[in-house]
Structure 1
Amino acid sequence: MIDTHCHIDFEDFDSDREEVIQRAKDNLDHVIVSGYSNDSNIKVLKLSKDNEGFIYPTFGFHPVSSQNATQEDIKIAHENVRKYIDDIVAIGEVGMDYFYVSDKDLRERQEEIFRGFLDLANEYKVPIVMHVRDCEKKAVNIIEDYENIPYFVFHCYGGSLKTAKRIMNRGDSYMSFSTMLCYSKHHQDLIEKIDLNYVLTETDSPYLAMRKEDRNEPVNVMKAVHKIAEIKNMDVASVDEITTNNARKIFKI
């Protein structure tokens, strides 16, 4: 099993990060840690170097942060992607967030920055991991403009089934499902109808724990895999094999 999206570089893990990583190593094949900001990107790179062959990094800039970033901040983010392009397995997480942001100008700023990262992924022909909350349909329209990006990952997908069908019809796009499957009826209804050949698994640690007061961690991706198996009436090994192979193909790990 692979946790394809988590943030164990966050301070939430400062007191026991090594124990968290060891629990993941004892149970999972790999963990992908997604950069969130310029500082975060460098931290996830170090984590990957310290745990080579197990942790893999992606470099991104979260849309809620990027909308307020300076041009210099974005320039540095792009420069670091270029500098470390051979070390990262994807660009992300980047995108747009219409759940937290309703201001028209800020949404336009998010899209502008998102397109800048899409341009980079298109130039280097690397996958992109997208945070596109409450604007999944718009994101599907936007990515039509980029022909060289090998794979598009809709991180923590929560859009409509109709949009999910559009995503599957593309052939190069995948939806990642998190531990939210354990308690979200909407996500359970989605996974029941979505072809596993277009599905990845993640935790988004430290977020999306089974109880709000808890801290999530990568090993809990097992719970998402087990929940998918239960909903689809499949054996866990089959769900594991399909979703793990999807991740290996996309991220080349």
Structure 2
Amino acid sequence: MIDTHCHIDFEDFDDDREDVVKRAKDKLDNVIVSGYSNDSNMKVLQLSKDYKDFIYPTFGFHPVSSQNATEEEIKTAHENVVKHLDEIVAIGEVGMDYFYVTDKELRERQQEIFTGFLNLADEYEKPIVMHVRDCEKKAVNIVADYDNIPYFVFHCYGGSLKTAKRIKNMGNAYMSFSTMLCYSQQHQDLIKKIDLDYILTETDSPYLAMTKEDRNEPANVVNAVHKIAELKNMDISTVDEVTTNNARKIFKI
């Protein structure tokens, strides 16, 4: 099993990061840690060096942060992607967030920055991991124009079934489901109707824990895999194999 999206570079893990990685190693094949900002990108790169061949990094800039970033900060993010192109497995997380952001100008700024990262992924033919909350349909319309991006990952997918079918029809796009599956009826209804061939697993830890008081961690992706198997009435080993192979193909790990 692979946790394709988490943030164990966060300070939430400063006191016991080594134990968290050890628990992940006991249960998982690999963990992908997604960069959130310029500082975060450097931290996830270091983690991939500290835990070589187990942790893999992606470089991104979260949309809620990026909308207030300076041009210089965005330029630095782009430069770091190019500089470390052979060390990162994807660009992300990047995108748009219409849940937290309702201001029209800020949404336009998010889209502008998102487009810049899409152009980068297209130029260097790198997979892209997208945070497109409450704007999944719009994101599909935007990314349809990019022919050289090998794979699109809709991180923590929560859009409609209709949009999910459009994503499937793209042929090179995947939807990632987190441990939210264990308690979110919306996500449970979605997973029943989406082909396993287009699904990835993640935790988005430290977020999306089983209870609000808990801190999520990569090892918990096992819970998502078990829930998918239960909801689809499939063997756990089959869900494990298919979702793991999907991740290996996209991220080349």
Q: Which range, TM-score by smaller chain?
A: over 0.9
**What are the Cα deviations for residues 176-234 of structure 1, in whole angstroms up to 9, with x where unaligned?**
00000000000000000000000000000000000011000000000000000000000
* Structure 1 stretches of 4+ moved >3 Å: none
Q: Which residue of 1 aligns with 2:128?
A: 128
Q: Which residue of 2 aligns with 1:171?
A: 171
Q: Which amino acid aligns with 1:212?
A: K
Write the mapping of 1:104-119 to structure 2, written as runs, cut at 5 A: 104-119=104-119
SS at match of 1:105: helix
Q: Which amino acid aligns with 1:170?
A: M
Write the mapping of 1:16-55 to structure 2, written as runs, cut at 5 A: 16-55=16-55
Instruction: Work out the CA distance in 2 between the residues paired with 1:33 and 1:144.
Output: 26
Q: Which residue of 2 aligns with 1:200?
A: 200
Q: Which amino acid aligns with 2:115?
A: R
SS at match of 1:180: helix
State the identity %: 81
Write the mapping of 1:218-237 to structure 2, written as runs, cut at 5 A: 218-237=218-237
Q: CA deviation at 1:25?
A: 0.6
Q: CA deviation at 1:158?
A: 0.1
Instruction: Work out the CA distance in 1 between the residues paired with 2:145 and 2:107.
Output: 19
**What are the Cα deviations for residues 99-119 of structure 1, in whole angstroms up to 9, with x where unaligned?**
000000000000000000000
Q: Which amino acid aligns with 1:143?
A: V
Q: TM-score, normalised by structure 1?
A: 1.00
SS at match of 1:145: coil
SS at match of 2:144: helix
Q: Which residue of 2 aligns with 1:90?
A: 90
Q: Which residue of 1 aligns with 2:101?
A: 101
RMSD: 0.3
Instruction: Work out the CA distance in 2 between the residues paired with 1:74 and 1:57.
Output: 18
Q: TM-score, normalised by structure 2?
A: 1.00
Q: Which residue of 2 aligns with 1:159?
A: 159
Instruction: Work out the CA distance in 2 between the residues paired with 1:224 and 1:27.
Output: 13
Which segments of 5 or more consecutive residues in structure 1 lack a partner in the other structure?
Answer: none
SS at match of 2:175: strand
Q: Which amino acid aligns with 1:15?
A: D
**What are the Cα deviations for residues 137-175 of structure 1, in whole angstroms up to 9, with x where unaligned?**
000000011100000000000000000000001110000
Q: CA deviation at 1:132?
A: 0.1
Instruction: Work out the CA distance in 2 between the residues paired with 1:160 and 1:120.
Output: 28
Q: Which residue of 2 aligns with 1:81?
A: 81
Q: Which residue of 2 aligns with 1:243?
A: 243
SS at match of 1:131: strand
Aligned length: 253
Which segments of 5 or more consecutive residues in structure 2 lack a partner in the other structure?
Answer: none
Q: Which amino acid aligns with 1:126?
A: K
